[in-house]
Amino acid sequence: MHNQFWNSVYLNFFATLITLAAISIIYFLEEVFFIRKIESKKQKQKMRIRSFYIACVIFIFLMAHIWVNGFMHLLTILGLVSAALVVTNKETIMNFVGWLIITWRGLFLEEDLIQIQQYKGYVKKIGVLYVSLYETSDLGGGITGRVIRIPNGLVSTNPIINFSQSSHLLEQRFILLVSGDNDFAFLKQTVKTIVENVLTEFYRDKQEFSSDYLLKKNKNLSRRIRLGATVSLQPKEDNLSKVNVVTRYFCFSQDAEKIQERLLSAFLKSIKKDGTIQLAV
């Protein structure tokens, strides 16, 4: 009986080595023939992570099939222990599940700018239980110097905003309060020209900010986003002699503060140079 037990262990161990070698070879072939051909570094990293976890799940499943036969009593005991651990360590398990969701779905990577609930910052490290963020300021968008540790469990129950995904552009608004005595046809054209000139200059060397790039990355997105500026007029409710000139445009979130500063500077120069535009007093 003793020899039969050890023979079974040796056979299972040998089967484990063969299984591990086979999965490793398949993973290596996928890396050589598929993953290395992906151009985007982020997509390449996501594919590596997903392939690794698929390989791990398959390996665990096969190990269970190899080793569990003949040890059903041990499996029963492990099941009872696992149930007790789930009850006593619910938060830890939720954090671990959140980590699996982050890595499997590729929700964000290190150095991405993200927001979960009221927490916003650049991802410093993705841990098994916590995500560390460099906190950003609401005023200028720079790093405050503080590091926030967020439980991974928040990922499974809260929406996540990833500001760093290159195919995502956010709508921004710039509002000028002007007098109702302006030539609004001229004013709208002037504002539109200023905004488009600033955007063109700012994104001169960035191919991601182009209609061709949007069409390549996401055909549906390209039909819904116009990279130029749109200008509309809205009367001020408490004073009809004053009008809000609302300018809408798209840019990447990390550039929003810098672009608004340039727009403000360009508007002030234009108003100072051309006396026909009258601001509200």
Assign residue 240 the CATH number of its domain. Answer: 3.30.300
Q: What is the DSSP string of 254-277?
A: GGHHHHHHHHHHHHHHHHHH-TT-
* Residue where one domain finishes, among candidates 162, 197, 221: 162
**Looking at the structure, do residues 270 and 174 belong to the same domain, yes or no?**
yes
- How would you write the pLDDT of the chain (281 residues) with one tens digit per residue? 556 666 777 777 888 888 888 888 888 888 877 777 777 776 777 777 777 777 887 887 777 777 666 555 555 656 666 666 656 667 777 888 888 888 877 788 888 888 898 888 888 888 888 999 998 876 556 788 889 999 988 888 888 888 776 556 778 888 888 887 777 888 888 888 888 899 888 888 877 777 767 666 665 555 666 777 888 888 777 666 788 888 888 888 778 888 888 888 888 888 787 777 777 76
CATH of residue 148's domain is 2.30.30
- Of 166, 198, 207, 180, which is closest to residue 281 (Cα–Cα)? 180
| 98: in domain | no
Q: Are residues 185 and 117 in the same domain?
A: no
**Is residue 183 situated within a structural domain?**
yes
Query: Which of 53, 88, 123 marks a domain boundary?
Result: 88
pLDDT attached to residue 127: 86
Q: What is the pLDDT of residue 235?
A: 78
Among residues 254, 257, 274, which one has the least CA distance to residue 193?
A: 274
Say if residue 147 is in the same domain as residue 183. no
**Are 243 and 152 contained in the same domain?**
no
Residue type, 84: A
Please check whether residues 126 and 84 belong to one and the same domain: no
Q: What is the pLDDT of residue 179?
A: 80
Query: Is residue 142 in a domain?
Result: yes
Per-residue pLDDT, 219: 59
Of 98, 164, 160, 159, nearest to 129 by C-alpha is 98
Q: Long-range pairs for 200-204 at CB < 8 Å and ≥24 separation? A: 202/251, 202/255, 202/258, 202/259, 202/262, 203/251
The reply to whether 16 and 54 lie within a common domain is yes
- Can you tell me the distance from the alpha carbon of 191 to that of 176, in angstroms, rounded to the nearest whole number? 10
Write out the DSSP string of 11-25. Answer: HHHHHHHHHHHHHHH
Would residue 250 be called left, alpha or beta, if left means φ above 0 and alpha means ψ between -120 and 50 degrees? beta
Residue 104 lies in a domain: no
Q: 130 and 195 share a domain?
A: no
Identify the pLDDT of residue 78: 63
Same domain, 20 and 57: yes
Structure confidence at residue 133 (pLDDT):
92
| Rounded distance between C-alpha atoms, residue 10 and residue 128, angstroms | 33
Structure confidence at residue 79 (pLDDT): 66
* Short-list 96, 116, 112, CA closest to 104: 96
pLDDT of 190: 87
The reply to whether 234 and 219 lie within a common domain is yes
83 and 17 fall within a common domain: yes
Does residue 107 lie in a domain region?
A: no
Cα angle value 239/244/247 (rounded, 5°): 170
Whether the predicted model's global pTM rises above the 0.75 cut: no
Q: Is residue 20 part of a domain?
A: yes
Of 157, 143, 148, 158, the closest CA to residue 127 belongs to 148
The whole-number pLDDT of residue 209 equals 74
Residues 210 and 250 in one domain: yes
Q: How many domains is the chain partitioned into structurally?
A: 3
Measured over the CA atoms of residue 212, residue 218, residue 224 and residue 225, the dihedral's sign is negative
Whether 117 and 212 map to the same domain: the answer is no
At position 205, the amino acid (one-letter code) is D
Tell the residue number behind the tokens 């982020």, with chain if given.
42
Which range marks the domain in which residue 148 is found?
A: 112-162
Q: Is residue 262 part of a domain?
A: yes
In this prediction, residue 149 carries a pLDDT of 92
Q: Is residue 105 part of a domain?
A: no
Model pLDDT, residue 87: 60
